[in-house]
């Protein structure tokens, strides 16, 4: 098992299905965490067991679309722990269902902000601290849609593809500084929301959040020291 003992990992979207699974995995491997969510109340309720822990910080009321808010979070995390070893950007969302010519421009803006801007802001906030330390690991979340745009989901596909291109560019820029940047590409994730939306689907073919968390934990660990700039498909059997 790849140990994350004493590493400090920022996990955005820590209340969401994937963020929660990643946080549980990081904690199980001895990592220290900065758990980030836009709602402090929701964060405190979900992670109540950690609210008094000196090993973790619940960073609520952080707007990942606002660079100032994200920079403040990263600075406070570094001040508390003296280091930032990893970042997992799990904030995202899904919309679609209309052809390009019928999709409201506001939907393009919404998905860009939710998927691309949050990822970009997270990366920009932590990289200066990782450069100081000459090391670190950043994990971004793409989608199988980065390989081909699907009808009626162009805005989502474009946003996820932008995340992959950002990942690849950062990996090239930062590899000589010991900083690794990788992108995980989930298939359909087995969440209550997806089950409700697709009740007739074969849930057993979907990807459990815990399986994604295992891949992410590996990429955060020193066992993946030679892995950067990759797009890792985690499609399950779907």
Chain centroid, CA 150 distance in Å: 23
- Please give the chain's pLDDT, 238 residues, in tens: 468 999 999 999 999 999 999 999 999 999 999 999 999 999 999 999 999 999 999 999 999 999 999 999 999 999 999 999 999 999 988 877 789 999 999 999 999 999 999 999 999 999 999 999 999 999 999 999 898 888 898 999 999 999 999 999 999 999 999 999 999 999 989 888 888 889 989 999 999 999 999 999 999 999 999 999 999 999 988 7
Quick: pLDDT tens for 20-30.
Answer: 999 999 999 99
What's the rounded Cα separation, in Å, for the pair 76 and 54?
14
Please state the pTM of the whole predicted model: 0.96
User: Cα-atom radius of gyration of the chain, to the nearest Å?
Assistant: 17
Nearest to 20 by CA among 182, 198, 28, 126: 28
What's the rounded Cα separation, in Å, for the pair 211 and 232?
13
In CATH terms, the fold of domain 8-234 is Rossmann fold (3.40.50)
Would the CA dihedral through 198, 188, 39, 67 be positive or negative?
negative
pLDDT at 54: 94
pLDDT at 93: 83
Catalytic annotation, residues: 156
pLDDT at 183: 98
**27-56 burial by CB neighbour count: b if 16+ within 10 A, else e?**
bebebbbbbbbbeeeebeebbeebeeeeeb
Domain ranges across the chain:
8-234
What's the rounded Cα separation, in Å, for the pair 184 and 16?
16
pLDDT at 2: 61
């Amino acid at each position: 098992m790849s140990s994350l003992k004493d590493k400090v990992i920022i996990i955005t979207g820590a209340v969401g299905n994937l963020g929660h699974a990643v946080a549980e995995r990081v904690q199980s491997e001895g990592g220290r965490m900065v758990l980030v969510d836009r709602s402090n109340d929701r964060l405190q309720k979900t992670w109540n067991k950690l609210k008094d822990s000196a090993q973790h910080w619940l960073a609520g009321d952080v707007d990942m679309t606002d660079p100032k808010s994200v920079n403040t979070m990263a600075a406070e995390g570094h001040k508390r722990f003296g280091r930032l070893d990893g970042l997992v950007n799990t904030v995202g969302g899904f919309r679609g269902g209309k052809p390009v010519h019928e999709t409201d421009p506001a939907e393009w803006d919404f998905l860009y902000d939710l998927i691309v801007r949050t990822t970009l802001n997270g990366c920009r906030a932590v990289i200066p601290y990782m450069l100081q330390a000459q090391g670190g690991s950043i994990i971004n979340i793409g989608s199988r849609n980065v390989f081909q745009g699907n009808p009626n989901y162009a805005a989502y596909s474009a946003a996820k593809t932008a995340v992959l291109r950002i990942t690849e560019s950062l990996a090239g820029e930062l590899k000589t500084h010991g900083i690794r940047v990788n992108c995980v590409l989930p298939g359909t994730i087995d969440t209550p929301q997806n089950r409700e939306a697709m009740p007739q689907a074969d849930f057993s073919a979907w990807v459990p959040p815990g399986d994604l968390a295992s891949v992410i934990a590996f990429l955060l660990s020193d066992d993946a020291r030679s892995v950067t700039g990759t797009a890792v498909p985690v499609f399950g059997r779907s």
